[in-house]
């Protein structure tokens, strides 16, 4: 357990050092320096159970880079990075600006260390800002002055929810939250997701994965796994962009054909959705040749998983039951999150 007296110049004064924070644990996994003993102890507990966790974190950052490059190449020049984390190598604004010098980015995180450090990194950049906000309250994000200044919702925007929705339990209606962002996004916009999943996890790993999950118990958010079918539900109303919902390293690997083939399940799942028109929830669109999407979720061989029961897995939502009450009324759902 960390000493509560432990502190650092870069840390905001009022942070709680009595328990680990997911942002600082992730920073430690990536080899960063913005973490405390309590974070390192929790992350080490997870690494002891799953020694490949650092590689998982790095593979997720590689996905983030590839997907931002893809969006920038598609002409998107505004980015909303929800659950952005503590800045590290290859931040979104740097990757986007390498393709489009005028690209604008707003970083959003609930963690004060992540936001303070992002503000320090961005101090000379008028086209990027970091805000302290909770993605579960979309209206609060939309109305933040930095978001109003830098994001024009009438034009295409890339919304990133990379390695964050597994910290949003079903009680907080992640399905309604994602829908609220989608309804704000103009045609041409994109959503990128990566998410912890136990799909394809060998059964002999059950105990180790459970042990790693317990390392997150004290963070206050926990960790929720979701299936391919549940990601498809999160992406309801978006058009699928190839290759669909796939293990993180398999999302458009570079160079083409190269990907992590040893235990891809370890990395969780990644997907990109495209907004091609403003559309009521629950409808499915046809394919767009520009993005070579398939128009269906999931668009690949994982389709059958939608009906697959998550046997013995703590996936949160029982198979075939996707919170129809919360999800059938978007405005009510949004109110639910914003009050």
Question: Which positions touch ligand SAM (CB under 6 A)?
Answer: 22-23, 26, 60-61, 64, 82-85, 108-111, 114, 134-136, 162-164, 167-168, 221
In the complex, the smallest distance separating the C-beta of residue 88 from ligand SAM, rounded to whole angstroms, is 7
Residue with tokens 């963690």: 111
Residue 172 beta carbon to ligand SAM: minimum distance, rounded to whole angstroms: 8
Q: Which is nearer to ligand SAM, 15 or 319 (CB)?
A: 15
Distance in Å, CB of 2 to ligand SAM, minimum: 17
Q: What gap in Å lies between CA 91 and CA 34, rounded to an integer?
A: 15
- Minimal distance in Å, beta carbon 80 to ligand SAM? 11
| Nearer CB in complex with ligand SAM: 87/244 | 87
State in angstroms the smallest separation of the CB of 312 from ligand SAM. Answer: 25
DSSP code for 107: E
Strands (E), the chain: 78-82, 104-109, 128-132, 158-162, 190-195, 239-240, 246-247, 269-274
* CA-closest candidate to residue 186, choices 146, 151, 144: 151
Closer by beta carbon to ligand SAM, 169 or else 295: 169
If the CB atoms of residues 128 and 276 are measured against ligand SAM, the closer one turns out to be 128
Minimum CB separation of residue 283 from ligand SAM in Å reads 28
Chain centroid to Cα 166, Å, comes to 8
Lookup: tokens for 158 = 């890339």
CA distances from 289 to 17, 27, 61, 240, 296 (A): 50, 38, 28, 12, 14
Residue (85 or 273) nearer to ligand SAM, CB: 85
């Amino acid at each position: 357990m960390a000493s509560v007296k432990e502190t650092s110049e870069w840390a905001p004064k009022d942070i709680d050092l009595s328990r680990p924070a997911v942002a600082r644990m992730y920073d430690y996994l990536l080899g960063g320096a913005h973490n405390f003993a309590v974070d390192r102890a929790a992350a080490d507990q997870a690494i002891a159970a799953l020694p490949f966790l650092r590689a998982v974190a790095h593979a997720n950052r590689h996905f983030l880079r590839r997907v931002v490059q893809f969006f920038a190449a598609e002409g998107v020049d505004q980015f909303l990075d929800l659950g952005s984390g503590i800045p590290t190598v290859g931040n979104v604004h740097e990757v986007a600006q390498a393709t489009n010098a005028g690209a604008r980015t707003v970083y959003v995180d609930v963690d004060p260390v992540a936001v303070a450090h992002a503000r320090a990194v961005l101090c000379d950049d008028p086209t990027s800002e970091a805000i302290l906000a909770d993605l579960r309250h979309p209206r609060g994000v939309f109305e933040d002055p930095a978001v109003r200044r830098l994001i024009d919702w009438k034009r295409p925007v890339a919304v990133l929810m990379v390695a964050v929705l597994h910290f949003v339990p079903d009680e907080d209606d992640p399905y309604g939250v994602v829908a609220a962002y989608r309804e704000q996004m103009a045609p041409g916009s994109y959503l990128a997701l990566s998410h912890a999943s136990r799909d394809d996890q060998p059964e002999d790993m059950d105990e180790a994965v459970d042990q790693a999950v317990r390392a997150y118990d004290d963070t206050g958010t926990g960790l929720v796994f979701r299936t391919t079918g549940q990601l498809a539900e999160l992406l309801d109303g978006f058009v699928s962009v190839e290759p669909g919902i796939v293990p993180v390293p398999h999302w458009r690997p570079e160079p083409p054909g190269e990907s992590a083939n040893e235990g891809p399940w370890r990395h969780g799942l990644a997907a990109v959705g495209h907004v091609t028109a403003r559309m009521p929830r629950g409808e499915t669109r046809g394919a767009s040749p520009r993005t070579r999407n398939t128009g269906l979720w999931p668009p690949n061989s994982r389709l059958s998983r939608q009906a697959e029961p998550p046997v013995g897995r703590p996936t949160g939502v029982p198979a075939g039951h996707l919170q129809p009450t919360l999800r059938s009324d978007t405005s009510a759902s949004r109110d639910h999150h914003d009050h």
